[in-house]
Amino acid sequence: MNSRNLKAIKTALYASLFVVAAPMFGQIPRTADGKPDLSGIWQALNTANINLQDHLAQKGAPAGQSVVEGNEIPYQPWALAKKKDNYVNRAALDPENKCYLPGVPRITYIGLPFQIFQRPDLVTMLYEHAHANRFIYTNGAQHPKGPIDWWMGDSRGHWDGDTLVVDNVHFNDQTWFDHAGNFHSEDLHVVERYSLLDADHINYAVTIEDPKVFTRPWNINMVLYRHVEKNFQLLEYECYTFDLEQYYP
């Protein structure tokens, strides 16, 4: 190989390195304090709210690929039986159909947009679904002493490099992870990791832990997409268990 060819190969290698590496260096928006800037309106574009695991289409419910790593949710035997029962009776039992706050992480992929506001001491997440909201303190504040049974749990955040890590505890046992009956106890512990892939995509990774229900922790992984439409904004999805037009025409 002559030196000219070698130089061409080197140039091509450097160029390819730049193309691959570019999104990792300086391509994500950052706040004044150098943290990745998650501000904006985001939405999951998948069918995880119907079923976290692989599922075929049913009427009104499109098919979808699993967002669970390995596609297995490691239930204890009694819990697997309960999950199956939940699935059979999901139309009546899904807490979403009762308009209850959906908990974490379901609020993220329930199918509606949400907006993130960020500053060094606090990340605020506002959701179109039922005016749900979360305050994620990133000022070193610790979880309050429990037990507390909140629908949305208690969220505390910190930055691990370029990833916002949110630790969530103090849940009740009333919410499900999806419409397929995947459930948890009040001992649920959720760790979310928000990592910008580029300016308009967040990698959303979640670890679920609940020793009363599962044999080991398990993971969810999906991508959140930024809304870039001009003047896009959150509207309202007030959930009603009654006929609104009958009550308030």
Partner 1 sequence: MRFNSKLLVTALLCAGMIGSAIAAESAKNDKGAWPQHTPDGQPQVEGYWVTVVYGMGCLQNPRAGVGCLEEGEEPGRANRPKPPKAASRVVDTPDGEIPYQPWARTKQQYLLSNYFEPTRPEFLDPQQLCLPLGPVRQLTWHDVHILQYPGYVIFEHEGGHVFRLIPLDGRPHVGSDLKLWMGDSRGHWEGNTLVVEVTNNNSKGRLSRAGDFASDKLHVVERFEFLDANRMKYSAKFDDPSTYTRPWTFGFDMKRAIFAENNPTKDDAHYEQWEEACYEGLTPVDYSLRSDRDHK
- Select from 22, 83, 27 the least CA-distant residue to 52: 83
CB-nearer residue toward partner 1: 64 or 103: 103
122-127/114-119 β-pairing: antiparallel
Assess 46 for contact with partner 1 (CB under 8 A). no
Q: Which H helix or E strand runs over 165?
A: strand 163-169
201-209/40-44 β-pairing: unpaired
Are 151 and 175 within 8 A, CB to CB?
yes
> What part of residues 4-43 is at the interface with partner 1 (CB under 8 A)?
32, 39
> Beta partners for 198?
201
CB-nearer residue toward partner 1: 29 or 74: 29
> What part of residues 99-118 is at the interface with partner 1 (CB under 8 A)?
99-101, 115, 117-118
Assess 91 for contact with partner 1 (CB under 8 A). no
Assess 60 for contact with partner 1 (CB under 8 A). no
Assess 231 for contact with partner 1 (CB under 8 A). yes
CB of 30 to partner 1, least distance (A): 14
For 154, the token pair is 């208690």
Assess 130 for contact with partner 1 (CB under 8 A). yes
Q: How far apart are the C-alpha atoms of 245 and 88, rounded to whole Å?
A: 31
Name the residue type at position 101: L
Assess 141 for contact with partner 1 (CB under 8 A). yes
Provide the binding-site residues for partner 1, judged by CB under 8 A: 32, 39, 99-101, 115, 117-119, 122, 124, 126, 130-133, 135, 137, 141, 150-152, 174, 231, 233-236, 238-239, 241-242, 246-249
